[in-house]
Structures are given as C-alpha cells and as structure tokens.
C-alpha cells in the first residue's frame, strides 16, 4: 500500500466529513429523508507557496498527478484528527478488542481496556478496527468498567454485512485513512518561481 508523501505539510486541512443520507425538499417545503448512508470521508488539503524546481516540491506535485491519474489507493494520516496525526484525547490503557461478533450500527462493545478508566476514549478520537477499512470516530466520551469493558458510540455506523470479528484488535494511535486523490488543482507559476494554493481533495476508500 502506497503512503501519501508527508515531506511538505499542508498549510490547511479541512476536517474529514462523512456524506449524509439521501434527502430532498418538495415543492411544499417538506423534507424527505432516506436512511441510505454513504461511507467515505472527504476533505481538502491546501499548500502554501511551493518553489518550482525544488526536489521535494517536484516530488509532491508528481506524486499527486500520478495518484490522481492512476486512481491510486494509499494510506494517509490527517494532522487534525486525534489518534491519526495527533495524540488521542482519551486515556486509553490495556489492549482494546471488539467484544462479540455480528456487531453493526453505531454502538460498539469493546473489552480489554484497563479497568475503571474514566474517559478511556473521548469524543473526536479516531479508531481503526482490524478487518475493517473505514476510520471510525468516537462520538461520545466513554469509560471502562471494572472488567475493562466499554461501549463506544462511533461514526460512521458499521453497516450490515461488515461486522468485525470477535476479539478484533482496536488501534487508537497512528491511525491511517485509506484514500485516493478525488481531485486537485494545478495553480499557475513561472518556471523556477513559486506556485501558491495547491489544493488536493481526498476521499476515503472503504
């Protein structure tokens, strides 16, 4: 699996956003909602001034062009997500595992945490579950009980047919997003001078 180059960090990154379900507004103003929910976060990264002709800049530009042209799937961290590019907010502890097979939806039963830890995970933390591709984000703070178990509310929900295995490992640090370059712009610049405003749109590939 390729990894997005991190030699030159972006100036700005939007927070990854999960698409909503289907919705429409009728002529009377009534809203119709359908429960179909997509999985696959999207976000944008923008780079400040980049000097053309510099080796690391040319490597970044070439990599983005290649990944877009070939629909390359790669791993990338996000600088603003606790548990990905930042340290998690929750206290953690122990060796967290999925507790029970056939789990779906937005409530995940876990065990293997250190016992009786307040805020073992906190809202905003991200988690990777072994055997599943999407990155899951903790919606509410959760604490472990005296047996090291905790029920965690996550987004997106685990869809039917994609349940993790019992005792699947849960990772809470250094979590990567499997993604592709959905689109990018190529700002103009003079040879040997700067370009500014390179913007890459990423989409998670579940």
Per residue in 142-164, pLDDT (tens digit) is: 999 999 999 999 999 999 999 99
**What domains can be seen in the chain, in order of their start residue?**
2-77+177-204 (3.30.200), 94-171 (2.40.30.290)
**pLDDT above 70 (res 32):** no
Confidence grade of residue 39 (pLDDT, cut at 50, 70, 90): confident
Angle, CA of 159, 171 and 145, to the nearest 5°: 85
* CA atoms of 99 and 164, how far apart (whole Å): 10
Query: Is 90 exceeded by the pLDDT of residue 171?
Result: yes
The Cα–Cα gap between 167 and 176 comes to 21
Average pLDDT over residues 160-173: 96
User: Closest Cα to residue 108, out of 98, 117, 94, 118?
Assistant: 98
């Amino acid at each position: 699996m390729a990894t997005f180059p991190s030699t030159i960090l972006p100036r700005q990154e939007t927070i990854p956003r999960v698409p909503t379900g289907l919705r429409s507004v009728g002529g009377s103003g009534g809203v119709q909602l359908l429960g179909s929910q997509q999985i696959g976060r999207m976000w944008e990264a923008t780079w400040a001034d980049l000097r053309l002709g510099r080796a690391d800049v040319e490597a970044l530009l070439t990599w983005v062009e290649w990944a877009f042209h070939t629909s390359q799937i790669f791993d990338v961290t996000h600088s603003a997500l606790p548990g990905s590019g930042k340290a998690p907010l929750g206290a953690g502890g122990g060796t967290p595992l999925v507790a029970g097979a056939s789990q779906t939806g937005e409530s995940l039963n876990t065990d293997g945490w250190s016992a009786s830890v307040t805020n073992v995970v906190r809202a905003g933390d991200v988690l990777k579950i072994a055997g599943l591709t999407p990155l899951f984000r903790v919606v509410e703070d959760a604490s472990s009980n005296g047996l090291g178990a905790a029920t965690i509310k996550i987004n997106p929900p685990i869809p039917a047919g994609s349940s993790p295995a019992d005792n699947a490992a849960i990772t809470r640090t250094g979590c990567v997003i499997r993604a592709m370059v959905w689109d990018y712009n190529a700002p103009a610049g003079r040879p040997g001078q700067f370009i500014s405003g390179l913007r890459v749109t990423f989409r998670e590939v579940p």
